[in-house]
Amino acid sequence: MIKSRPSKTWLKSTALAAILAAGMIQNGWAAGLQARVNSSIVAMGDSFQLILSTQDTNASQPDLGPLSQDFKVQGTSQSSQTQIINGRRTDKKSWIVTLSPKKKGELTIPALQAGNVSSEKTSIKVLGASAAPKAIGINGVSVTASIEPGQHYVFSEIPLTIRIETDQAFQDAGLIAPQGDGFELSQLGEDRSSQVVRNGRPVTIIKRDYMLRPQKAGSLTLPPFVLKGSIPDPRQKRDPFFDDFGFGSSMMRNFGIGRMFQSGKPFKVRSDSVSIDVLANPNGSAQSNNWFLPAKAVQLKAEWTKDNPTFKVGEAITRRISLLALGARPEQLPDLDLGQASGVKLYVDDSKTDLVQTNDGTIARKDVLVSIVPTQGGTITLPEIRVNWLDTKNNKEQTAILPAQTIQVEGAAPLSKSPQPVSSPASTSVDDTGTSQSFGNLEAFGWLGGLSPLQWGLLAGGLAVLAIGAYSWQSTRSPSVSRKRAQRRVAMKYGAKPAVSNSSDKQVNARKLLIRVVKSGQPNKSYEALMTWLRLAPHQRQNAKLQSEILTLEQLLFDPNSTDASWNNSSLLTCLRELGHPEKAGNKTILPGLYPTIS
């Protein structure tokens, strides 16, 4: 019996059907949504990446809603890739989703939908920060955190050093510092690197310094530092396009050019947690009002804003007092207690703080401008100034002292308990330089009593002619010159310097504060606020009413016989309101101010 052969037509049909079936299977796989993670083990507080990819170019944005149950979506990026190999084109669309776990344990990443394609579910393992492996995806790399031994106080600066050792060449890397509510952490200076040889292999050592500042007393655990990056992956396939042009050659890799076209192999290395005991203010319970200033060193110093100043009764001289603290922040610096002294009044004109970074730590600085106004002549001693602080190096309470200083004041000391006011027109006058001049004893003019009536008439007529001439000469002078001289008198009288105007917002805020202080009825505080406002708005000094109010305050404050109860603040309030609204002052010829004001 002879068996018949299958026809060629049947064989061709069968082969074509097999090819079509294989193509359908391949297309069905290609059209799916693949899901993978860059790390199957994650620590709490860390993030990982979920990569979704498909060859369906019509796939829409994936629905990430199902992830919200166990994960927090931190960001999403999208990319497209096209390859043509042997004339065959392949398109690929990918989404990279950055996630962070919400809890520990074995967590499931659910199936996700992107249009008509969907992914399979997968899982990751989430560990506690202390239980997670120190190194993932790399060997020969370590991260160590260390703190100087000793007693550590709340709000003090504690030096912390990170040491990284590696025998690997990083493609890219970054150190992530921990964050928390119970501490502040700031980098200090630049990284330091060196190399050693161990077991015949070069090892690179990188050190980075931080300043740790605890915000509360008690036990403090600092979470691990994390070094994340990538290293060249020898298993990664290079694109033949780049090999054809020489980008994959060893010469190009030596110059780092090949790395630009490689994603690299990701890695993660963490340090151990660091725990310390933070001590509270040692005097906090005994003296609740005691200011606590922990620092490594504290210094007080003072200088005059003018070289070799001359002190005169009623004239203000400005003194700059500086407080510097190493290892502290500006908000930790206390207000200075200027004390009280006989024969002088002290007023704080201005205070500002600053922060300077040094290799030894941060230096907090406070500069206080104090007006020294003598109220009597002779020898006057300015009291010493003290600031208590805690030496964190030696665990010892210290006191920074600015010694007392003696000054010599020109002018007679008061002869009675009721001296005349400093600016009394009956005894002194002010020349163009603001210098007080004494008229001397009136008995020297006793010869006037021997004049006859005719001589008196001639003398009176001559004086009238001189007065008219002086008035005419004064009226021809430039008004701007008069205003400048008046402004200079007031500035010298109060020891104030012309200041460059700041922004209008600062002027408005200073004026609002001034009005509130004046309403409180405190003349000394009102004087300080008035001087601060005038430094921001120096053009207001030209106002005659305001000059009169300044002189009234001066007499009240500088006259030892005056009392706060004798001051009527309503007049100054009215003047300030008129300055804020020039149209209400009744003088339509005055130009509006250069700076806006709000009443």
Within a domain: residue 420?
no
Enumerate residues 6+ apart whose C-beta is below 8 A from 410: 310, 311, 312, 313, 377
Measured between alpha carbons, how far is residue 346 from residues 200, 231, 340, 350, 492 in Å?
Answer: 72, 66, 8, 12, 17
In a domain, 597, yes or no: no
Length of the chain: 599
Query: Based on the domain organization, do 163 and 246 belong to the same domain?
Result: yes
- Match 């990982």 to its residue by tokens: 48
Indicate if 101 and 121 belong to the same structural domain. yes
Q: What is the DSSP string of 439-480?
A: ---GGGGGGGGG--HHHHHHHHHHHHHHHHHHHHHHHHS-HH
Domains in the chain: how many in total? Answer: 4
The token duo for 459 is 């003398």
The residues facing 214 across adjacent strands are 183
pLDDT for the residue 247 = 45
Q: Does 309 lie in the same domain as 375?
A: yes
Single out the residue in 244, 279, 314 at which a domain terminates. 279
**CA 158/CA 136 separation, integer angstroms:** 30
Residues 105 and 139 in one domain: no
| Burial of 499 from C-beta contacts in 10 A (0-12 / 13-18 / 19+) | middle
| Token couple for 594 | 């250069």
- Average pLDDT along the chain, 599 residues, taken 10 residues at a time: 47 48 42 84 83 86 91 88 83 88 92 89 85 83 90 88 93 89 88 92 94 90 90 65 47 45 76 90 58 90 92 91 92 89 89 86 91 92 93 88 93 49 35 34 40 54 59 49 44 41 69 85 84 84 83 74 67 84 39 36
Measured between alpha carbons, how far is 116 from 31 in angstroms, rounded to an integer?
9
CB 559 within 8 A of CB 473: no
- Would 592 be classed as within a structural domain? no
Q: Is residue 425 part of a domain?
A: no
Among residues 124, 121, 140, which one has the least CA distance to residue 132? 124
Q: What is the DSSP letter of 539?
A: G
Give the pLDDT of residue 381: 93
Provide the b/e sequence for 314-339 (b: ≥16 CB within 10 Å).
bbbbbbebebbbbbbbeebbeebebe
Query: Cα–Cα distance between 492 and 435 in angstroms, integer?
Result: 9
**Residue 178 within a domain:** yes
The contacts of residue 86 (CB under 8 Å, 6+ apart) are none
* H-helix segments, 283-369: none
144 and 200, same domain (yes or no): yes
With beta carbons less than 8 A apart as the criterion, state whether 52 and 88 touch. Answer: no
Which run of H or E residues covers position 29? helix 8-30
Question: Which residues does 128 contact at the CB level (< 8 Å), separation at least 6?
Answer: 43, 44, 104
107 and 160, same domain (yes or no): no
Q: Look up the CATH number of the domain holding residue 93.
A: 2.60.40
Cβ atoms 144, 271 nearer than 8 A: yes
> What local confidence, expressed as pLDDT, does residue 458 receive?
56
Surface-to-core class of residue 226, CB atoms within 10 Å of its CB (0-12 exposed, 13-18 middle, 19+ buried): buried
The answer to whether position 13 is within a domain reads no
Residue 491 has φ and ψ, to the nearest 5°, of -65, -45
Judgement on whether residues 66 and 153 belong to the same structural domain of the protein: no
Last residue of a domain, one of 410, 429, 444: 410
Contact 169, 233 (CB under 8 A): no
Clarify whether residues 298 and 400 are in a common domain.
Answer: yes
Please indicate, yes or no, whether the overall pTM of this predicted structure exceeds 0.75.
no
Q: Cβ–Cβ contacts within 10 Å for residue 521, how many?
A: 14
Under DSSP, is residue 420 helix (H, G, I), strand (E, B) or coil? coil
**Comparing C-alpha atoms, which of 101, 34, 31 is closest to residue 73?**
101
Domain boundary among 279, 311, 336: 279
In contact, 393 and 367? CB cutoff 8 Å: no
Asked, for residue 75, whether it belongs to a domain, the answer is yes
Q: Choose among 497, 502, 490, 492: nearest CA to 369.
A: 497
* Host H or E run for residue 101: strand 88-101
Measured in Å, how far apart are the chain's first and last C-alpha atoms? 122
- 183 lies in the same domain as 225: yes
Task: Tell me, yes or no, whether 269 and 310 share the same domain.
Answer: no
Where in the sequence is the domain holding 101, given as residue range(s)? 30-127
Note whether 318 and 392 are same-domain residues. Answer: yes
Give the amino acid at 504. S
Give the whole-angstrom CA distance, residue 152 versus residue 225.
Answer: 21
Residue 353 lies in a domain: yes
Same domain, 274 and 142: yes
